[in-house]
Amino acid sequence: MVRLKHRYLLINVLYPDSKSAHLKLVEDTDDEVPFSLQFRQPSSDQLTVHILLRIIRQGVEELFGDYGSGKVSGSLQIKYWSPATSTAILRVSRDYYRLVWAALSFITILPKPLNQPCVFQVVRVSGTIRKAQEEAVRRARLSIRKAQKTTNGLSLLIGTDRNEAFSRYAGIEDPDESECEETEKGKKL
């Protein structure tokens, strides 16, 4: 007998600010919230595990009909949900995790009691829940460090290039660029 294999999806629920423009660079020193944390807000207490499951199942049914709903509904579970960090870990059958991922990508607003625009970001797909948990902890620590750096060095940002500022605070990092900077620092010492 073959055991059932699952995939664990680590997701973040982001809340874009509908009042501001789609792309906003940190140029004003009046902003107290760092750009890297503007979308990462705690979720409302009204957003529960049951509402999340219902949203995901409805999304799969809208995109893939009865076929997708039937394939996913038996194995879909929310193993972890934290409203404080807006982070969840979903368990889905290995063969059909892409259906859930696609449905999450098309969810743009939370249902009736909340009526809030949102974006579901799939951060990691893992074969074990342990690796998904480790990634969640690693990302939480990284966001804390980024928040501390941005609040300490916000005045340093004003003189930098706009593209560099956006890539730094959007989480887009070039690994080759960071290696070059490290070697240049080593040569200067």
Average pLDDT score, the chain = 79
% of the chain at pLDDT higher than 90: 47
Bridging pattern class, strands 77-82 and 6-14: unpaired
Residue with tokens 């804390």: 144
3-state SS, the chain, equals CCCCCEEEEEEEEECCCCCCCCCCCCCCCCCCCCHHHCCCCCCCCCCCHHHHHHHHHHHHHHHHHHHHHHHHHCCCEEEEEECCCCEEEEEEEHHHHHHHHHHHHCCCECCCCCCCECEEEEEEEECCHHHHHHHHHHHHHHHHHHHHHHHHCHHHHHHCCHHHHHHHHCCCCCHHHHHHHHHHHHHHC
Please tell me the least confidently modeled range out of 3-12, 134-143, 160-169, 179-188. Answer: 160-169
pLDDT at residue 159, rounded to an integer: 45
Higher pLDDT, 159 or 184: 184
137: in domain? no
Q: What is the mean pLDDT of residues 12-23?
A: 70
165: in domain? no
Higher pLDDT, 9 or 160: 9
Higher pLDDT, 72 or 187: 72
10: in domain? yes
Residue 14 sits in a domain whose CATH number is 3.30.70.3250
100: in domain? yes
Q: Read off the pLDDT of residues 51-94 as tens digits, 9 standing for 90 and up.
A: 999 999 999 999 999 999 999 999 999 999 999 889 999 999 99
Q: What is the mean pLDDT of residues 6-11?
A: 97
160: in domain? no
CA 112, 113, 117, 119 torsion: positive or negative? negative
pLDDT at residue 12, rounded to an integer: 93
125: in domain? yes
Question: Would you place residue 178 in the very low, low, confident or very high pLDDT band (cuts 50, 70, 90)?
Answer: low
Q: What is the tally of structural domains in the chain? A: 1
- Cα separation, 30 vs 25, in Å, equals 13
Q: What is the mean pLDDT of residues 8-34?
A: 67
Structural domain boundaries, residue 73:
6-129
Indicate the pTM of the whole model: 0.71
pLDDT at residue 155, rounded to an integer: 42
